[in-house]
Amino acid sequence: MTDNELPEGDRLGLELSDAVVLFHEAVGAISGLSATDHKAVGIIARQGPMSATALAELTGLTPGAVTGLVDRLERSGHVRRERDQQDRRRVVISATVQPEPRVGEAFAALAAAMSTITAGYSEEQQRTVADWVVRTTAILREQTHRLTSGRRP
């Protein structure tokens, strides 16, 4: 089935998904990272130091995948593992570097473009869009967890 044969909602959803993933792949490439590695660094930087278990829960990745991801990010200098100051038995992962300036520029340009679009909607429409984003994000997280926990969709 071609994109033109899909119901409009399905087609729009696929186009949005493609655009988001490809944007993050392009942004990650600026720092020499894949989209997944780039997003993981962003999560760690925003959330603060965390355990590998917490990172697995936030990303939906398996513990083994998180170990490989953190190994790559540590080798490239984007994160470091260190002992938790409160519980020396626990290891936490921290972001170590500021993003490349071009990454900041990419997100600033995206934010400006998105603000222009948002300004064209009424407050009620913005609330509806925000509700859709929140609910869609929850569904995506749930589906990611189902896929990574070995359950069939």
Q: Which domain holds residue 89?
A: 7-98
Predicted local distance difference test score (pLDDT) of residue 150: 66
- Is 1 inside a domain boundary? no
For position 30, what pLDDT does the model report?
A: 92
Residue 30 falls inside a structural domain: yes
CA distance linking residue 48 with residue 71, whole number of Å? 18
Q: How many CA atoms lie within 13 A of 11 on its CB side?
A: 8
User: Looking at the chain, how many residues does it have?
Assistant: 153
Asked if residue 91 is part of any domain, the answer here is: yes
Q: What predicted TM-score, i.e. pTM, was given to this entire model?
A: 0.78
pLDDT per position as a tens digit, 91-108? 899 999 777 889 989 999
Per the structure, how many domains does the chain have? 1
The pLDDT score that the predictor gives to residue 151 is 53
42 domain residue, yes or no:
yes
Is 131 a domain residue?
no
- Phi then psi for residue 50, to 5 deg, are -150, 160
Here the CATH number for the domain that contains residue 22 is 1.10.10.10
For residue range 51-95, what is the model confidence (pLDDT) as tens digits? 999 999 888 888 888 999 999 999 999 999 998 788 777 889 999
Q: Is residue 83 part of a domain?
A: yes
Instruction: Indicate whether 31 pLDDT > 70.
Output: yes
- Does residue 139 fall inside a structural domain? no
Task: Please say if the pLDDT value at position 12 is more than 60.
Answer: yes
The predicted structure's pLDDT at residue 148: 78
Within-domain flag for 115: no
Percent with pLDDT over 90 in the chain: 61
